């Protein structure tokens, strides 16, 4: 499968190398980036050509990794879909919900109904894959995520760099449930202006499912956990330890998970969806719901702090 790389930044590069781990199933068709030097450097590393125009590259491709600048992603995704190319889109898929709507409309109108998958590596983490297998057929009561990245000197906005990824995972686990309400609170760890460094979010779904998410730069040691409660069990996944603990009334058991690269596993899942012409594991519609949640979270935190509301997602 000839795969085009649209965007030669860090995300595009990482996706491209993840795809090349499936060398027997795909090859790099070429690289496009508005920065010719960046495109040439990645193309050389991948052993393919750099292209000055995305249209020329898409004419030679079967699938495309859409990982350019956030403001360019909707146009690149639509261009690929109109060319009959399946797409894996790096989030945020757009700066505004309107951009995602346009991409979804292009998918619906496409004669072949292209595979349009949202890139959510967290959903393909080995512990999450194991958790999904254990949860099959079980109604979910509650989901809780916790991400601790110590150090208030960390770069970027916690909401964009950490929390949004967990929102994507929760929405994918929610199996199509619709978000009813979102509550959030956040704080800075340093005085004065600066990024939010501790955030807690509560999401209520239309089927009664409740999800709580915590992301913070405070704390002594790194941690990343995901807990899912059903009517009679609790499943606790520890990303760093690579384990899933199943807690039942009569006792508990700890399961070791075979480790693997989530980006490589995600690429494999996308290739499988394309080969089988089946729905992707994480559809692009998740991007729209995640953006709505992210905007609501940022709005609530800003209002609580008496700050101007920012509604555009960052890269």
Task: Look at residue 267 and tell me if it is in a domain.
Answer: no
> What pLDDT is recorded for position 312?
46
* Claim to verify: residue 298 and residue 153 sit in the same structural domain: yes
Q: Count of domains in the chain?
A: 2
Per the CB < 8 A criterion, the answer to whether 5 and 67 are in contact is yes
pLDDT of residue 314: 46
147 & 251 share domain: yes
- Based on the domain organization, do 55 and 182 belong to the same domain? no
Q: Say if residue 49 is in the same domain as residue 86.
A: yes
**Nearest residue to 73 (alpha-carbon basis) of 49, 90, 51:** 90
What pLDDT sits at residue 307?
A: 61
Domain boundary among 114, 135, 157: 114
Q: What is the mean pLDDT of each run of 10 residues along the chain (315 residues)?
A: 98 98 96 98 98 98 98 98 98 93 95 92 96 96 95 66 88 92 86 79 96 93 97 97 97 95 98 96 92 85 65 47
- Among 114, 139, 173, identify where a domain stops: 114
Residues 17 and 87 placed together within one structural domain of the fold:
yes
CATH number at residue 165: 3.30.360.10
Q: For residue 74, give the CATH number of its domain.
A: 3.40.50.720
Residue 164 lies inside a defined structural domain of this protein: yes
Give residue 230's domain range: 122-260+292-304
What ranges make up the beta strands (E) of the chain? 2-6, 27-32, 50-51, 63-66, 86-89, 116-118, 140-148, 179-187, 198-205, 210-216, 223-230, 234-238, 243-248, 251-256
Q: Write down which residue in 60, 83, 114 finishes a domain.
A: 114
Same domain, 71 and 92: yes
**Stated pTM of the model:** 0.91
């Amino acid at each position: 499968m000839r795969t085009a790389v649209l965007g030669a930044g860090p995300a595009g590069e990482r996706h491209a190398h993840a795809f090349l781990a499936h060398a027997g199933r795909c090859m790099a068709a070429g690289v496009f980036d508005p920065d010719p030097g960046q495109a040439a450097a990645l193309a050389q590393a991948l052993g393919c050509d750099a292209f000055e125009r995305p249209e020329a590259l898409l004419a030679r491709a079967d699938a495309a990794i859409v990982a350019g600048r956030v403001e360019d992603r909707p146009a690149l995704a639509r261009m690929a879909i109109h060319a009959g190319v399946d797409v894996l889109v790096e989030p945020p898929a757009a700066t505004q919900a309107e951009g995602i709507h346009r991409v979804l409309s292009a998918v619906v109108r496409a004669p072949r109904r292209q595979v349009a998958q949202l890139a959510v590596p967290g959903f393909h983490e080995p512990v999450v894959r194991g958790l999904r297998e254990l949860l099959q057929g079980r109604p979910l009561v509650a989901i809780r995520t916790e991400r601790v990245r110590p150090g208030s000197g960390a770069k970027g906005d916690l909401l964009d760099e950490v929390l949004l990824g967990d929102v994507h995972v929760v929405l994918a686990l929610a199996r199509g449930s619709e978000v009813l309400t979102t509550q959030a609170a956040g704080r800075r760890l340093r005085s004065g202006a600066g990024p939010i460094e501790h955030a807690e979010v509560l999401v209520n779904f239309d089927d009664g499912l409740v999800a709580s998410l915590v992301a913070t730069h405070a704390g002594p040691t790194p941690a990343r956990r995901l807990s899912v409660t059903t009517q009679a069990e609790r499943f606790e996944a520890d990303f760093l330890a690579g384990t899933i603990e199943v807690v039942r009334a009569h006792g508990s058991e700890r399961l070791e998970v075979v480790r693997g690269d989530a980006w490589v596993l995600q690429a494999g899942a996308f290739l499988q969806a394309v080969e089988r012409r089946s729905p992707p594991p994480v559809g692009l519609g998740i991007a729209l719901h995640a953006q709505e949640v992210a905007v609501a979270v940022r709005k609530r935190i800003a209002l609580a702090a008496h700050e101007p509301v920012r509604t555009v997602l960052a890269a």
